[in-house]
Structure 1
């Protein structure tokens, strides 16, 4: 799940996560993500998440991102403390439903990487 990018940089960690999109909120979720607030994007970048993508297949959302920092938990806490991001999550959260594989401390279900090639 990690790959070094040379020098003294922290290893890049890749994450895949899964969650269900509630069908009755599909259009709202897609509308919100068609125009993500600039402050939310800035927080994602400040928290060292790169290549952040969300894919949709049927009712399932798959997110992917690479983490380039040195303290993932601290950066996630920084994101969770951001008032604009919290407002964003209050809008997007009701559009989502956890999967059966969700773990208590995470909203999206973490996935295990089984293959990667640069």
Structure 2
């Protein structure tokens, strides 16, 4: 663990269930401020979710110094847990997604700053 934050970039993918599409899009049209505050407090920024067909692609940047602790704080947050109770049923994990993960993490193959 370093004391100096460096930006780490994360991309991930998951399937959006067609029958839950409108519900998922409506939730993300007006995200809960408590969820956004927790993300910011955990050093998550430039967070975007893109939609292609029935695939959701997520991208965010992490600028903290203790990724595991910050992700644990997000997972432990009661507001975020309530949000996930609404969003997770809209999604279907992809076959290669590791146990305990919702989204499949993608390897970075190119970056230009």
The TM-score, its normalising length taken from structure 1, stands at: 0.91
Asked if 1:10 is matched to 2:11, the reply is: no
Which residues in structure 2 correspond to 1:77-96 (within 5 Å)?
77-96=72-91
Other-structure match for 1:23: 18
Mark the runs of 5 or more structure 1 residues left unpaired by the alignment.
1-7
Asked if 1:75 is matched to 2:73, the reply is: no
- Residue 39 of structure 2, aligned match among 41, 44, 69: 44
CA RMSD of aligned residues (A): 0.9
Secondary structure at the aligned position of 1:84 is classed as helix
The TM-score, its normalising length taken from structure 2, stands at: 0.95
Other-structure match for 2:101: 106
Other-structure match for 2:27: 32
Higher RCO by CA contacts (8 Å cutoff, separation 6 or greater): 2
Other-structure match for 1:3: none
Cα distance in 2 for residues equivalent to 1:28 and 1:9:
40
Cα distance in 2 for residues equivalent to 1:62 and 1:41:
18
Mark the runs of 5 or more structure 2 residues left unpaired by the alignment.
none
Cα distance in 1 for residues equivalent to 2:23 and 2:104:
22
Cα distance in 1 for residues equivalent to 2:100 and 2:62:
18
Structure 1's consecutive aligned runs of 4 or more residues displaced over 3 angstroms after TM superposition are: none
